[in-house]
Chains A and B, each alone.
Chain A
Amino acid sequence: MGKRSKVIERDEVVVRFSGDSGDGMQLTGTLFSYTSAIFGNDISTFPDYPSEIRAPQGTISGVSGFQVHFGHTEVYTPGDYCDVLVAMNPAALKANAKWMKPGGTVILDVDSCDEKNLRKAGYETDDPITESKLSGYNIVKAPITTLTKESLKDMGLDNKSILRSKNMYALGLVYWLFDRPLDHTKDYIKKKFKKNQLIVDANVKVLEDGYNYGNIIQALTPSYHIHPADIKKGKYRNLSGNQAVAWGFLAAAEKSGLELFLGSYPITPATEILQELSARKDLGVKVFQAEDEIAGICTAIGASFAGDLAITTTSGPGLALKGEAIGLAVIAELPLVIVNVQRGGPSTGLPTKTEQSDLMQALYGRNGESPAVIIAASSPTNCFDYAFYAAKIAVEHMTPVILLTDGFLANGTQPWRLPNLEEWPAISVPKADVNAKDWHPYKRDLEKLSRYWATPGTAGLEHRIGGLEKDEHTGAVSHDALNHQRMVEIREEKVQRVANVVPELELLGDEDADVLVVGWGGTFGHLFTAVDELANEGHKLALAHFNYIKPLPRNTYEVLKRYKKIVVCELNLGQFADYLTMNFPDIQTQRFNKVQGQPFTVVELKEHFKTLLED
């Protein structure tokens, strides 16, 4: 490789691959992020795709994107605006032009910019660059389709297969742009198509030709140089939020010695958890793909009654359907984890987009006083941690736990340092003791107020439970008025006592902050980056980010009351802000809400925080 004519040194860069939903952009982005991670960058990725499998070709609604943020320093979000956009057609350019950083690089397949595609994308002129106000940008007009055809003309492939390789040409060119090795991608291609040598050869050739095309155009195009990040030593792999949830439960099953049971029904964007665990029969996971959401949770409740670590997974509409059964787990006091990967609502809403609007549903979306523990993960990889802790709390406290993630966490990826399970806490299973004096099904651990798990098959522990209220002392059905009030209070108190084992709320940033930013769940990366960047610019800000929603950390009030100006930022209309007000009526909060199916951008957060700092 020759010396490059223009090199831009950067700490971090955002690249977005964008094309038709059939153009293979998700794979292209994934391969690029793997190569960057192996190179030693910290990375964060996010796919953005339509809910249709193959939306109309060439239209904006059919655009599928994959964004990679990688850097020499730690990165917490997939980035707001991109430095480099790969646009495989005019619609991809049109959809993403507003997300370009000033002066960024656009790689456009000019072959796709014919009259038909320009009109489909909504361009009125034949000059999409000018029309999208990108004239001052670094535009690489690459005839990717022609070059791919040229590259493969002697290989004897059909036209369809040739056109399918376009994405590898674009990927090769991007590898050149960042001076990255092709090895990992070549290995991937060889493994993926091992049964078809012709396809392997074709894809490798196109990838290399794309890379070499960079050398040809280098006089016109600057390349980027990003050093590896200073990352903690260890073994790493890339992990998405959904995969992390699945693996967190596998870890919890192994730690507790319980068999893992998942009852679930496919629903976007939670399906990958079901798929991931379906593949793990080697670890003894029993997966029941149910006939509907209700059967998904009910089979899990049955499995929990029988003594398995039982899970159900879903997204918003599915949580609504599971509500009655969650109530059964509450009154039967059985361990159960319900994962809700939140998406845009109400109703079918925006299935592939992210939102945080199921908080109130998780807290209160059931009949009667029906308390459950609510936990929210805040990064793709800590979905592993919170799935593990959700299972631990469910089992040790004999209670349903709702784990909230969202579409952004579920599909986003980060490098994950492989954990050593021996260093993780034990999960102790509160098995009923057949020899215990005066055992009955609602006898409680006096510290936690949880009952004991008496599983079928154990002689001497035969008992009946169910959805009817039970007598506090015998476990028999009871309609007694005062007994009911006591049982309602005990169930609530049992959940509140989980606070004894939940870590305290951590304050990130300046203790003497002028503005306290409050968030929960999947917005952590954007909120932290905004607060961190403003702190570096000399502003006094702090972030209090919640992972434990019910019960709240013990020191929540102590932290909040120290600040006069608090802004609660959420991807809904203010559900957590309302919840805080309900719990702490004297704490005044302001709100910053966004409900667009998209994550916050760091830019919009910083702008808003600055106005608060100036007030």
Chain B
Amino acid sequence: MAENCQVKFTDFKSDQSVKWCPGCGDHAILNSVQKAMASLGYKKEEVAVISGIGCSSRFPYYMETFGFHTIHGRGSAIASGVKVANPHLKVWQITGDGDALAIGGNHFIHTIRRNIDLNVILFNNQIYGLTKGQYSPTSKRGFISKTSPFGTVEAPFRPGELCIGARGQFFARCIDKDLKHSVVMLEEAAKHEGTSIVEVLQNCVIYNDKTHNAITDKAHSADRTIKLEHGKPMIFGAESNKGLMLDGLELKVVTIGENGITEDDILVHDAHCDDITLHLKLADMEYPEYPVALGVIRSVKAPVYDQCVAKQLAEVQEQSQIKSFNDLIHSGDVWDVE
């Protein structure tokens, strides 16, 4: 009976027609989110989806939950206010590489630093889509776009590095079209208490088509990505014979069976390790030197801002003699005029 009361993933679809370009990776992410929310057993009314500005930020309109499509870059700040005001809500923030890492960079890092219990989905397509094709903070150096006709001369941000550098405790990465893995990543993010960042490598079919293809293409993805799982050896490849080892302070790609290397020599992923050293290295791996890491790279327990706020409020209220406005104004230096 209880099973029948469960919200189906289609219940999370709003009556608005979805207006992203045909073939855009956003469609897949919307599906993944709705599936994850259904499988998490969410009730529609306890969910607030908050976004800033950009293609991805239209997301709340397509969700049959509470939603707030706000202003450019400020989604994290607004979502933080929602969560602190009502910690019972499941607050999801939808953002993109421009919204979170350019105009909203300050809010992004401070939200992560505070470790507010938000689930942030960062759609990374390495381009400004809604303004029709300018380079973004994650566009690779030399990238040609309408505002970089001769190639960019900027180093891009690596979202995982930025997140962990800002003392992030949860970082995961997945690919838009890999629904099955994306749903698992979103569920993991939801279960983690504190700020969870899920970077989705998303394809912009119009302005930056196939930007992630070198690693997401079916023919090559097994060899060019590694799906990390906590407690499992870091093995990848179409034949599952490649792995990661430490060589001094550097990660090294090795082949099992060559040079006497066995599975026992391969690093085992520890997502819960407090030390960030290896997590940073894994998050920073780029093709072709390395496989690109997918999965939960870091997931560490730490004090959660909104929980700490609620706890401190309860403690002070318990201890203080001042229980009302009237108590307050009569405390301290008061005199009588007769």
Residues of chain A whose beta carbon lies under 8 Å from any beta carbon of chain B: 34, 37-38, 40, 231-238, 247, 250-251, 254, 259, 261, 263, 280-284, 286, 288, 290-292, 294-295, 298-308, 310, 324-325, 327-328, 332, 418-419, 421, 455-468, 476-477
Residue of B16, B48, B332 with highest tally of chain A CB at under 10 A: B48
B contact residues around A459 at 8 Å (CB): 43-45
B60 at the A/B interface (Cβ < 8 Å)? Answer: yes
Contact between chains at B325 and A254 (CB < 8 Å)? yes
B69 contacts partner chain A, Cβ-Cβ < 8 Å: yes
Q: Does B80 contact A307, Cβ atoms closer than 8 Å?
A: no
Q: How far is the CA of A299 from the CA of B333 in the complex (A)?
A: 34
Query: What chain B residues lie within 8 Å of A307 (beta carbons)?
Result: 85-86
Is B77 located at the chain interface by the 8 A CB criterion? yes
B336 close to A259 (CB less than 8 A): no
A282-B316, A282-B322, A284-B313 are known contacts. Are A234 and B107 too (CB-CB below 8 A)? no
Tell me whether B218 is interfacial, beta carbon within 8 Å: no
Min CB distance A449 to B, Å, is 22
Q: Which chain A residue has the least Cβ–Cβ distance from B53?
A: A467
By the criterion CB–CB under 8 Å, are A290 and B77 in contact?
Answer: yes
Identify the closest chain B residue to A286 (Cβ). Answer: B84
Residues A295 and B110 in contact in the complex (CB < 8 Å), given A302-B77, A466-B70? yes
Interface residues on B, range: 35 or more
A299→B77 CA distance, assembly (Å):
5
> Are B82 and A298 closer than 8 Å at their CB atoms?
no
Main secondary structure of the interface of A (DSSP, over half): mixed
Structural contact, B107 and A295, CB atoms closer than 8 A: yes
Residues in B whose Cβ lies below 8 Å from that of A302: 50, 68, 77-85
Q: How far is A332 from B78 in the complex, measured between Cα atoms in Å?
A: 13
A38 contacts B335, CB within 8 Å?
yes
A283-B107 contact in complex given A235-B330, A298-B81, A299-B81, C-beta closer than 8 Å: no
Instruction: State whether the Cβ of B1 lies closer than 8 Å to any Cβ in chain A.
Output: no
For residue B90, which residue of chain A has the nearest CB?
A456
Q: Which residues of chain B come closer than 8 Å to A261, judged between CB atoms?
A: 81, 84-85
Whether the pair A457, B89 counts as a contact (CB closer than 8 A) is yes
With an 8 A cutoff between CB atoms, is B249 at the interface?
A: no
Give the distance in Å from the alpha carbon of A37 to the alpha carbon of B316 in the complex.
32
Q: How far is the CB of B74 from chain A (nearest CB, A)?
A: 4
Please state if A456 and B78 are interface contacts (CB–CB under 8 Å): no
Interface residues of B: mostly helix, strand, loop or mixed?
A: mixed
B74 touches A237 (CB 8 A): no
Q: Find chain B residues with CB under 8 A from A238 CB.
A: 333
B196: min CB distance to chain A, Å: 18
Closest CB of chain B to A478's CB: distance in Å?
12
Instruction: Identify which of B85, B330, B337 contacts A306 (C-beta below 8 A).
Output: B85
| Chain B window 230-241, contacts with chain A (Cβ cutoff 8 Å), 1 for yes, 0 for no | 000000000000
User: In the docked arrangement, what's the CA distance between A260 and B110, Å?
Assistant: 22
Q: Mark each residue of chain B from 283 to 324: 1 if its CB lies under 8 Å from any CB of chain A, else 0.
A: 000000000000000000000000001001100110110111
Task: Evaluate contact between B81 and A288: CB separation under 8 angstroms.
Answer: yes
B337's partner among A40, A263, A421 (CB-CB below 8 A) is A40
B74 CB contacts on chain A under 8 angstroms: 294-295, 298, 325
29 contacts between A and B (CB under 8 A): A38-B335, A235-B335, A236-B337, A247-B325, A250-B328, A259-B85, A263-B81, A281-B320, A282-B323, A286-B313, A288-B80, A291-B106, A294-B77, A295-B80, A298-B81, A299-B77, A302-B50, A305-B81, A305-B82, A307-B85, A307-B86, A327-B71, A418-B329, A456-B89, A457-B45, A459-B45, A466-B67, A467-B69, A468-B69
The smallest beta-carbon distance between B309 and chain A, in angstroms, is: 6
Q: Which residues of A contact B68 (CB under 8 A)?
A: 302, 305, 332, 464-466
B265 interface residue (CB < 8 Å to A)? no
As a 0/1 sequence over residues 96 to 109 of chain B, the CB contacts with chain A under 8 angstroms (1 = contact) are 00000000001100
Q: Which residue of B has the minimal Cβ distance to A231? A: B337
Please give, as numbers and ranges, the residues of chain B lying within 8 Å of A235 by CB-CB distance: 330, 334-337
In the complex, residue of chain B having the shortest beta-carbon distance to the beta carbon of A228: B337
Tell me the complex Cα distance, A299–B334, Å. 35
Within the complex, the shortest CB–CB distance from A467 to chain B, in Å, comes to 6
- B86 near A306 (CB under 8 angstroms)? yes
**Which A residues are CB-close (under 8 A) to B330?**
235, 418
B277 within 8 A of A: no
Q: Smallest CB–CB gap between A607 and chain B, Å?
A: 35
**What distance in Å separates the Cβ of A440 from its nearest Cβ neighbour in chain B?**
12
**Is B326 on the interface with A (CB-CB < 8 A)?**
yes
Q: Give the contacting residue for A298; candidates B16, B77, B328, B337; CB below 8 A.
A: B77
Give the docked Cα–Cα distance between A306 and B80 (Å).
Answer: 11
How far apart are the CA atoms of A254 and B70 in the complex, in Å? 29
Is the Cβ of B320 less than 8 Å from the Cβ of A456? no
Q: How far is the CA of A284 from the CA of B84 in the complex (A)?
A: 12
Give B46-60 as 1s and 0s: 1 = Cβ < 8 Å from A's Cβ atoms.
Answer: 111010010000001
Q: Is B199 an interface residue (CB 8 A)?
A: no
Known: A34-B333, A298-B71. 13 other contacts (CB 8 A): A250-B325, A263-B81, A301-B70, A301-B78, A302-B83, A303-B81, A306-B85, A310-B85, A324-B71, A328-B71, A418-B330, A457-B45, A468-B69
CB distance from B144 to the nearest CB of A (A): 31
**For the complex of A and B, 4 pairs with smallest distance between CB atoms:** A302-B81, A466-B69, A282-B320, A299-B81
User: Does B65 count as interface, using CB distance less than 8 angstroms?
Assistant: yes
Q: Please, which residues of chain B bring their CB within 8 A of the CB of A325?
A: 71, 74
Question: Does B64 belong to the interface (CB within 8 Å)?
Answer: yes
- Interchain CB contact under 8 A, B317 and A282: yes
Is B338 interfacial (CB-CB < 8 Å)? yes
CA of A237 to CA of B332, assembled, Å: 9
Known contacts A295-B106, A458-B45: A303-B85 contact under CB 8 Å: yes
Q: Please give me the residue from chain B that is nearest to A417 by CB atom.
A: B337
